[in-house]
Chains A and B, each alone.
Chain A
């Protein structure tokens, strides 16, 4: 099992039961596991790297922080606390870039 987030700590702003929804984008896989996504109303794409592309993909089927953490904990050796911090950080970043909305 590999480490997904290392020792990075998230600030935990995302609420546990909020549902996260991807906005409509076009996307492209780039070398190095990066992902390029672009909203239809944006002029330029946003590049996702690190754990963000994986979380972005998982958002198709897993909508809450708990669901994402549970799924990632099956794949990575990090503690749930570390994974949750990484998930929250990534979701905050995606929300700030207008790529996910909460409900």
Chain B
């Protein structure tokens, strides 16, 4: 029996991940939520997007909630799946559109991992769509989606920025956010990664009769590492579970450790993978497979450490500035002036006002 909401939520996050022979795992114990903790428990599992794991544990009699709490959990899961399906419908339509237009793409994140990383997509919550396209296709992709009714809330900072420097462009389609990615992330590690590597191999998931291309299993692990290590200041437990599923309980037979190591080296991503591996290990207490435990214990040089820290600055504006600085440093010399002009003086900005703003932020 667990003693706090936090421990209970972590036990749910671990549910279904451990090896069948690991009898110390949560899977063999009952997770109990006390009457007074139900609201906090439900709020936390919803926030951490692990409602699917909780419902699986409930169905398998490994999670005990007061009857009213169980009903609420079912209702929360119903809502989460309704949202996931809305996003999935948009993902299928978008993928179909891009395929018809001859644009190579990979559907990422929730849609992809729900269908390729878990034995039942009902275990994974999501409410948006992420699609990776090649840099040269990003403008065409955005035009195509806009021609189909998608809207872009934030315009491009300067012509060519999306293709040259942006990590993603967010559009809204049928009320669902569609993130069109050029790279996995902003910042220095977005500069050093080689997104075209991800178009060499692919896997296909079939949704509503449509073949939707997603990342190959090894590339999926890379993506899960980048997302977990760099996606948010405090990653939700769903992102932790995703990586754990892929390396501990999921696609192990398809995971190519040599190709993974090669990519990490080429992308200069050791610090990213190390950070992600440590989060999984520290949060869930799972033994990592050799391919990942190697990185958990690896060395990281000072510049990579600084680059990594930029992603974890608490204040949003300060984080954006820190990421811009590390991006600038990671770019080739020839591209730096154009990048500096784009982020320093976006198109349409008043130069005097911009300079005043920058000075005031310095203070």
* Chain A residues packing against B (C-beta within 8 Å): 24-32, 36, 38-40, 42-45, 47
**When the two chains form their complex, are residues B85 and A26 in contact, meaning their CB atoms are under 8 A apart?**
yes
**When the two chains form their complex, are residues B58 and A26 in contact, meaning their CB atoms are under 8 A apart?**
no
Cα–Cα, bound, A43→B121 (Å): 20
In chain B between 90 and 118, which residues have their CB closer than 8 angstroms to a CB of chain A? Answer: 92-93
Interface string of B66-88 (1 = CB under 8 A from A): 00000000100110011011101
Given contacts A31-B59, A36-B81, A40-B208, contact A26 B92 (CB under 8 A): yes
User: Quick one: closest B residue to A38, CB to CB?
Assistant: B85
Cα–Cα, bound, A47→B84 (Å): 14
B55 at the interface (CB under 8 A from A): yes
Which among A25, A29, A47 is the interface contact of B122 at CB below 8 angstroms? A29
Q: Which of B86, B174, B210 has the most CB of A within 10 A?
A: B86
Cα–Cα, bound, A28→B84 (Å): 9
**When the two chains form their complex, are residues A45 and B210 in contact, meaning their CB atoms are under 8 A apart?**
no
**When the two chains form their complex, are residues A36 and B77 in contact, meaning their CB atoms are under 8 A apart?**
no
Cα–Cα, bound, A30→B74 (Å): 8
Question: Given A36-B82, A47-B78, list of 10 further CB < 8 A pairs?
Answer: A24-B208, A24-B209, A28-B85, A29-B120, A30-B74, A36-B78, A42-B89, A43-B86, A45-B82, A45-B85
Given contacts A24-B210, A28-B81, A28-B84, contact A40 B92 (CB under 8 A): yes
User: Quick one: closest A residue to B93, CB to CB?
Assistant: A40
B39 at the interface (CB under 8 A from A): no
Interface string of B114-131 (1 = CB under 8 A from A): 000000111000000000
**When the two chains form their complex, are residues B121 and A28 in contact, meaning their CB atoms are under 8 A apart?**
yes
CB distance from A90 to the nearest CB of B (A): 21
Cα–Cα, bound, A28→B89 (Å): 12
**When the two chains form their complex, are residues B89 and A30 in contact, meaning their CB atoms are under 8 A apart?**
no
**When the two chains form their complex, are residues A30 and B207 in contact, meaning their CB atoms are under 8 A apart?**
no
CB distance from B79 to the nearest CB of A (A): 11
Cα–Cα, bound, A44→B85 (Å): 9
Given contacts A24-B208, A24-B209, A31-B59, contact A40 B78 (CB under 8 A): no
Given contacts A31-B55, A31-B58, A40-B208, contact A26 B89 (CB under 8 A): yes
Task: Kindly list chain A residues whose C-beta atoms are within 8 Å of the C-beta of B93.
Answer: 40
Cα–Cα, bound, A69→B124 (Å): 34
Task: Kindly list chain A residues whose C-beta atoms are within 8 Å of the C-beta of B207.
Answer: 26
Cα–Cα, bound, A40→B207 (Å): 10
**When the two chains form their complex, are residues B82 and A31 in contact, meaning their CB atoms are under 8 A apart?**
no
Task: Kindly list chain B residues whose C-beta atoms are within 8 Å of the C-beta of A27.
Answer: 85
Given contacts A36-B85, A40-B93, contact A31 B77 (CB under 8 A): yes
**When the two chains form their complex, are residues A31 and B92 in contact, meaning their CB atoms are under 8 A apart?**
no
**When the two chains form their complex, are residues A30 and B92 in contact, meaning their CB atoms are under 8 A apart?**
no
Cα–Cα, bound, A26→B208 (Å): 5
Task: Kindly list chain A residues whose C-beta atoms are within 8 Å of the C-beta of B209.
Answer: 24
